[in-house]
Amino acid sequence: MILPSRLSATTLGDLLGRLYRQRTTGTLELTDLWAPPGAASSRHKIHLASGLVSGVETSRPAPPLGELLRREGFLGDPAFRALLRHLGDGDPRPSGEILVAERLADPSTVEAALRVQLRMKLDALFELEDAVVAFHTARPTKLAVRRIHPLEPHDFLVGRPRLRDLVPASEVRHRRAPARAQRFYPGAPKADEAPRHEPSRASSSSRFTHPIPEAKRRALEKLGLSEAAGQDEVRRAFRKLAIELHPDRHVTAPAATRDRNAARFAEVSAAYHVLVA
């Protein structure tokens, strides 16, 4: 399988779609072309296991697991302080393992939060304007085989920008560099300057202005809301469903019911973060 060498020639959704259809295991590496040369933040990795996104390594901001749980009301202040003490004392375990092993949080809640965090990291990479693309086929890394179910196709494909929908093929080669490219590549055309050999065209960032109503619509449906719902309604609906589905309310329920509620809780959490991100 041959992938484009530049993200500007395709979209991240198209890349992940091709890797998913091939059920590929390995690492998709994206090197940001608009980051300062040699910067540690310029390289991002998406780990896949049988075509599913199982891990993301990126320096782009995403809330730490403890803060995410605390912000959504699933980790009290005492438990949060206990987690910080473990980390401050040099505990080498990931935050999720500490929370579960020390009984500071329910395992189902931690797994749901890890999935939400993984989705947020992946969402940040969809904002890349251009990058060098490389793929390394390999067995799943330790990061990829954590005890967290990989993201399903609807998490990283449905509603994502695809090249066939956004940019005519004749325009792919003539996109202009964003303004910040001038800081590192003085020869690149300015954002408000048409290519010398082409009539004025839309900026390269236009492929990210395409709305994704399908993703928003699906998220609103998960929360039982209409398309006109505001942020306050979204928060109220999420909290109501989260309280109803929280694993602590179903301790004595059959295993099948607990698993079903945990999966539903993860879907509701992901939908909420799509709408408030």
Domain extents for the chain? 7-60+127-198, 63-109, 212-277
How far is residue 249 CA from its own chain's centroid? Answer: 29
Q: What is the pLDDT of residue 175?
A: 46
CB atoms within 10 A of CB 40: 8
Q: What is the pLDDT of residue 213?
A: 57
Q: Are strands 52-57 and 131-137 parallel, antiparallel or unpaired?
A: unpaired
CB atoms within 10 A of CB 215: 18
Alpha-helical regions (H) of the chain? 12-21, 65-71, 77-88, 95-101, 107-125, 153-156, 163-166, 213-222, 231-245, 255-276
212-277 CATH: 1.10.287.110
Instruction: List the chain residues with pLDDT less than 50.
Output: 141, 143-146, 169, 172-212
Q: What is the pLDDT of residue 145?
A: 41
Q: What is the pLDDT of residue 208?
A: 34
Q: Is the pTM of this model over 0.85?
A: no
Give the C-alpha separation, 269 to 31, whole Å: 30
Q: What is the pLDDT of residue 71?
A: 85
Q: What is the pLDDT of residue 202?
A: 40
Q: What is the pLDDT of residue 42?
A: 81
